[in-house]
Amino acid sequence: VETPDRDVLRISPGRLKKALEGKQFASTSRKGKFMFMHLEDGSRILVLHFGMTGRLLYYRNEDREPDHARLLLHFQKGGTLAYDCMRKLGIVDLTEDVNKYSKGEDLGPDALSLSKDEFMRMFKRKRGMLKSALMDQTFMSGVGNVYSDEILFQAGFHPRHKTTELDDSQLGHLFDVMQEVLEKAIECGAQPGDFPENWLTREREEGRACPWDSTPIEKTKISGRSALFCPNHQK
């Protein structure tokens, strides 16, 4: 276990080494934006959050070590798994229990684990703007800035629209679009260049033509984040 850059570590390199060295990973799980790597003996769970630029890379040739590796896991039988994160917004941590960890992070239910009924019940009680609600990790986890824009773009709702002003059929529509967007994004490996032509996220740029109706895309600030939207079809 090597930690070339410790800025994203929430635990000491020593504790990380002690917990992981000589062990074997058995499975992974996810809640919201957190990934959990479970050790086979159940003793510890490695927690990874990818921030905006984090990724995992596995390679056998050391020349392939990425430029911004924060954690390197070298395997006994060869090969290295690198946690690479250009901007230091990621997290590397350890836990013994996923539920306890997500409680500590105050994570709401995962967006892909919700049924339509649960989603609608939650959103009916939530005040504020649609974009803020979708991005609020304590309310519902997993959807961030980019995907909240994509969901609202495809659902045809303005990012400042009030959650309480949506009726049942509109909330149901929002849920359906959210599921479609997240599942398609996963299928595309979350690579914007591989997203369908009519997605906003293929080119997140103010002023570019809306792929649906050619209206120039506008930019505004909501909850401190930049929201992109089409002033024509997002009402």
Choose the stretch contacting Zn ion; rule: CB under 5 A; options: 1-9, 113-121, 184-192, 223-231. Answer: 223-231
210 binds Zn ion (CB under 5 A): yes
Work out which of 30, 35, 109, 212 binds Zn ion, going by CB under 5 A.
Answer: 212
| Structure tokens given for 148 | 């909240």
How many CA atoms lie less than 13 Å away from 18 in the CB half-sphere? 5
Residue 37 or 152 having the CB closest to Zn ion? 152
**Straight-line distance from the first to the last Cα atom of the chain, in angstroms, rounded to the nearest whole number:** 51
- Is 213 an interacting residue with respect to Zn ion (CB under 5 A)? yes
- Distances in Å between the Cα of 152 and the Cα atoms of 9, 147, 149, 159 are 34, 8, 5, 7
User: Closer to Zn ion at the Cβ: 2 or 218?
Assistant: 218
Taking CB under 5 A as the rule, does residue 197 contact Zn ion?
A: no
Q: Does 202 engage in binding with Zn ion (CB under 5 A)?
A: no
- What token pair was written down for 55? 């990724």
Shortest distance in whole angstroms from residue 217 CB to Zn ion: 8
* Contact between 230 and Zn ion per CB under 5 A: yes
Shortest Å distance, C-beta 153 to Zn ion: 8
Nearer to Zn ion, 179 or 232 (CB): 232
Q: Smallest distance, Å, CB 215 to Zn ion?
A: 5
**211 lies in the site for Zn ion, by CB under 5 A:** no
SS3 for 74? strand
User: Which strand ranges, in their side-by-side order, compose the sheet holding 54-59?
Assistant: 54-59, 80-85, 69-74
Alpha helices in 136-208 (DSSP H): 145-155, 168-187
Strand pairing report for 80-85 and 25-31: unpaired
| Residues between 83 and 142 that touch Zn ion (CB under 5 A) | none
**Minimum Å distance from CB 220 to Zn ion?**
15
